[in-house]
């Protein structure tokens, strides 16, 4: 029922460029990107200049910008590979940020109609979330839907949405063992809905296709937890899973919502799952500790901003997980450094 | 493509279809291709002298109010009268492992390709595959063909837990409360959402009894649909009540509840003014009831459904009676229900569940 007015100047689209030639990527997205400001961040490991088509309102950041802004701290915070986009979040001054991997294109729905992932993320972020009670008709604010019988009236105004997690057709975001076991498995099921992930329920947030309210949760999306040599293939990545759980804990604590579902993007074939198995086992093993930790995490009442929350999470990570694996202690340190960097960059205005 | 899909077992000797009715069973004709092989338990509400005709060819048992009184004696007081809540009597007398219950104004729906949906088959698929309440899978039910667990999903949680409940949805007339019906009399649910998902642990939900399957062995005694209808201050909260009790017990016993597919076609919009009168108190009471369910804990010592349920009854009496004396009556009825259940379903079943 809601008419969402999208204020173009409230949105940044941040793209981490892991490939040099962005021409076909940008052309496919042009109808949906062109009205917004873009921030493109070149993977600092990618040599040479990016090829970007004309006609976009954008800022491009490269390794030298990262080095200049971040300074010596860049020893502990890596912006390599997928993490380069976090530099874009750091530089953005907009309320809403939307990001998709550079190997994704717009998806078609069940009527073969091209879908606008950007608008859908904005709709998700600008309509309320309902984390405190489950609605069996999913998003109650979409046209043709509503709260069902039995839904408490006091909970029907909902809360703000901090994070919008989109999905993927074709190559789904499976881990390497799963994809290696089922090499033919492609996601062809377009599920036409978005729902609020209930409070205190953890989920694996994929960084491939998300939108977030940077004012509310921005600092919690951070490149803190990385496997060795991570970053060029999603199968070998855990940074987004880690930061997604931090965001969920922050949202639960601040009584903000996280949505999951539409929009879909079409994800192109890339990489070899069997090859990635060699690296990914480490992440798979660590997840066994990570999930129970986040599920049990409760923050203090004094934490009232995302920065506060991340600081508390970092100390709990150090305290509880630090002994399990040096990666966790490193992650905790990186989180603290990230928050300092975030505050410093903003204060410099 | 995917490996050859195994056919879904029929379970025709393990599943009963429970249908409450006060009008007629004409709707069964449309369901014949899907229901004919199953045993039906008809619970006839209202005037017991009325004869409800069951269409030819169905294997069924039918209970009217006289039967309920005869079988349960004084315990019949826990079974509602003049309300579809009476259906839970059917659960109690069934001897099968699985129950599917459907309202008599629900018909076969079509999927987006125009094919008739075999709702029962989908419920069976849902009940026979595990649930995943401990961590949310963003691709929904990972056990469905064409889906799986996503990156980041811990391997130790991929076996899932047994599924106790399969909650289906409805196209056409949505299950709205009276105020929403009054504001949006023309709204129809036309959105086919091709998903089944597990409702996470710790999250309760509004369960609708129109299109519902469950594993009676795992959760049956929790499916008490409360005191509604004639002589009661409230109606249209029967399935809600059963759903809240069922979900907290499932969470405690590590069982799963799924929602989503299958869809049925809900044809009849009940009168919103009548509904408002029935629901009115519930709308206020649910503001207290929901926090009650969200915050309660069941002691570790409760390891069977009956034990959990009796504990709930105790808590209802303790904590909700201050809202209205109705809750004292309801708590007593919950105890009566368990006594009746155990009488009709002697201890072999209890031991089976406790052993899990």
Reported as a single tens digit per residue, the pLDDT across B134-144 is 999 999 999 99
Q: Where are the beta strands (DSSP E) in chain A?
A: 11-17, 37-42, 57-61, 96-100, 104-106, 161-170, 194-196, 209-213, 257-267
Report the interhelical angle of A63-70 vs A84-91 (nearest 10°): 60
Rounded to the nearest 10°, the torsion over CA A310, A313, A319, A325 is -90
Which tens digits make up the pLDDT trace of B253-275? 999 999 999 999 999 888 999 99
Give the residue from chain B lying closest to A207, CA to CA. B151
Which residues of chain B does A178 touch, with a Cβ-Cβ cutoff of 8 Å?
148-149, 151
The candidate with the shortest Cα–Cα distance to B144, out of B154, B133, B164, B129, is B129
Give the residue from chain A lying closest to B156, CA to CA. A288
The C-alpha of A137 sits at a distance from chain B's nearest C-alpha, in angstroms, of 8
Q: What is the pLDDT of residue B3?
A: 46
Which residues of chain A does B259 touch, with a Cβ-Cβ cutoff of 8 Å?
134, 136
Q: What is the pLDDT of residue A243?
A: 95
Q: Which of B148, B203, B236 sits opposite A182 (nearest CB)?
A: B148
Q: What is the pLDDT of residue A284?
A: 77
Q: What is the pLDDT of residue B275?
A: 92
Mean per-residue pLDDT, A101-126: 96
Mean per-residue pLDDT, A153-164: 97
Helix ranges (DSSP H) in chain B: 28-35, 65-72, 88-93, 119-128, 178-183, 216-219, 238-253, 272-295, 305-320, 326-344, 348-354
Q: What is the pLDDT of residue B5?
A: 63
Which tens digits make up the pLDDT trace of B29-84? 999 999 999 999 999 999 999 999 999 999 999 999 999 999 999 999 999 999 99
Q: What is the pLDDT of residue B197?
A: 97
Mean pLDDT of the residues in chain A: 92
Q: What percent of chain B has pLDDT over 70?
A: 96
Question: Which residues make beta-bridge pairs with B161?
Answer: B131
Which tens digits make up the pLDDT trace of A268-305? 977 788 877 776 667 778 888 899 999 999 999 999 99
**Reported ipTM:** 0.94
Determine, for residues A149 and B240 on separate chains, whether the beta-carbon distance falls below 8 Å. yes
Determine, for residues B184 and A146 on separate chains, whether the beta-carbon distance falls below 8 Å. yes
Q: What is the pLDDT of residue A231?
A: 66
Cα B277–chain centre separation? 23
Mean per-residue pLDDT, B219-248: 96
Are the C-beta atoms of residues A223 and A89 closer than 8 Å to each other? no
Q: Which of A178, A188, A287 sits opposite B154 (nearest CB)?
A: A287
Separation of alpha carbons B312 and A286, rounded Å? 38
The candidate with the shortest Cα–Cα distance to B77, out of B286, B289, B317, B339, is B339
Check CB contact of A113 with chain B, cutoff 8 Å. Answer: no
Whole-model pTM?
0.94
Give the residue from chain A lying closest to B206, CA to CA. A150
Helix (H) / strand (E) containing B171:
strand B163-172
Determine, for residues A172 and B150 on separate chains, whether the beta-carbon distance falls below 8 Å. yes
- B106 vs B23, higher pLDDT: B106
Q: Which of B2, B151, B207 sits opposite A173 (nearest CB)?
A: B151
Check CB contact of A112 with chain B, cutoff 8 Å. Answer: no
């Amino acid at each position: 029922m809601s008419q969402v007015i999208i204020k173009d100047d409230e949105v940044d689209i941040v793209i981490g460029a892991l490939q040099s030639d962005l021409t076909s990527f940008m052309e496919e997205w042009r109808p949906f990107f062109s009205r917004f400001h873009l921030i493109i961040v070149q993977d600092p490991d990618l040599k040479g200049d990016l090829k970007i088509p004309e006609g976009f309102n954008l800022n491009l950041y490269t390794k030298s910008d990262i080095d200049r802004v971040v300074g010596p701290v860049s020893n502990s915070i890596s912006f390599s590979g997928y993490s380069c986009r976090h530099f874009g979040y750091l530089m953005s001054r907009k309320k809403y940020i939307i990001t998709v991997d550079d190997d994704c294109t717009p998806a078609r729905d069940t009527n073969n109609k091209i879908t606008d992932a950007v608008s859908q993320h904005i709709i998700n972020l600008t309509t309320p979330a309902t984390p405190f009670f489950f609605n069996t008709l999913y998003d109650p604010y979409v046209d043709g839907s509503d709260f069902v019988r039995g839904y408490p009236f006091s909970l029907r105004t909902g809360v703000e949405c901090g994070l919008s997690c989109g999905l993927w057709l074709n190559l789904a975001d499976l881990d390497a063992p799963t994809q290696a076991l089922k090499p033919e498995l492609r996601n062809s099921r377009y599920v036409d809905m978005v729902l609020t992930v209930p409070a205190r329920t953890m989920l694996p947030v994929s960084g491939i296709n998300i939108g977030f309210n940077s004012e509310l949760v921005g600092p919690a999306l951070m490149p803190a937890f990385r496997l060795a040599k991570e970053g060029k293939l999603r199968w070998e990545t855990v940074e987004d899973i880690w930061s997604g759980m931090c965001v969920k804990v922050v949202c639960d604590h601040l009584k903000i919502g996280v949505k999951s579902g539409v929009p879909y993007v079409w994800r192109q074939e890339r990489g070899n799952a069997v090859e990635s198995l060699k690296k990914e086992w480490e992440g798979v093993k660590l997840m066994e500790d990570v999930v129970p930790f986040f599920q049990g995490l409760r923050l203090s009442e004094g934490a009232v901003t995302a920065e506060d929350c991340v600081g508390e999470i970092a100390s709990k990570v150090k305290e509880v997980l630090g002994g399990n694996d040096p990666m966790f202690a490193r992650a905790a340190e990186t989180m603290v450094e990230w928050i300092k960097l975030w505050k410093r960059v903003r204060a410099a205005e | 493509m995917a490996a050859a899909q195994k056919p879904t077992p029929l379970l025709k000797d393990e599943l009963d279809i429970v249908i409450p009715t006060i009008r007629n069973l004409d709707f069964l004709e449309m369901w014949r291709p899907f229901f004919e092989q199953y045993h039906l338990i008809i619970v006839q509400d209202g005037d017991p002298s009325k004869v409800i005709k069951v269409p030819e060819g169905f294997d069924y048992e039918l209970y009217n109010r006289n039967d309920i009184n005869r079988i349960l004696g004084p315990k019949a007081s826990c079974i509602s009268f003049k309300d579809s809540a009476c259906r839970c009597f059917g659960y109690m007398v069934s001897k099968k492992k699985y129950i599917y219950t459907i309202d008599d104004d629900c018909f076969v729906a079509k999927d987006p390709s125009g094919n008739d949906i075999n709702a029962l088959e989908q419920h069976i698929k849902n009940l026979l595959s595990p649930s995943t309440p401990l961590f949310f899978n963003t691709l929904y039910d990972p056990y469905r063909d064409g889906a799986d667990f996503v990156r980041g999903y811990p391997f130790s949680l991929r076996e899932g837990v047994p599924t106790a409940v399969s909650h289906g949805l409805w196209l056409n007339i949505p299950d709205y409360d009276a105020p929403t019906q009054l504001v949006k009399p023309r709204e129809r649910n036309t959105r086919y959402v091709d998903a089944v998902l597990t409702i996470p642990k710790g999250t309760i939900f509004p369960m609708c009894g129109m299109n519902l399957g469950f594993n009676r062995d795992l959760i049956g005694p929790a499916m008490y649909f409360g005191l509604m209808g004639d002589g009661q201050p409230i109606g249209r909260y029967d399935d809600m009540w059963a759903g809240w009790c069922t979900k907290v017990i499932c969470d405690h016993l590590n069982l799963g509840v799924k929602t989503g597919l299958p869809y049925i076609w809900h044809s009849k919009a009940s009168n919103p003014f009548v509904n408002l009168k029935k629901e009115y108190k519930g709308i206020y009471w649910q503001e207290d009831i929901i926090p009650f369910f969200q915050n309660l804990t069941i002691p570790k010592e409760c390891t069977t459904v009956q034990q959990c349920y009796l504990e709930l009854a105790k808590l209802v009496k303790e904590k909700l009676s201050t809202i209205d004396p109705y809750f004292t009556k309801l708590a007593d009825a919950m105890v009566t229900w368990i006594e009746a259940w155990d009488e009709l379903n002697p201890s072999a079943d209890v031991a089976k569940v406790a052993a899990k």
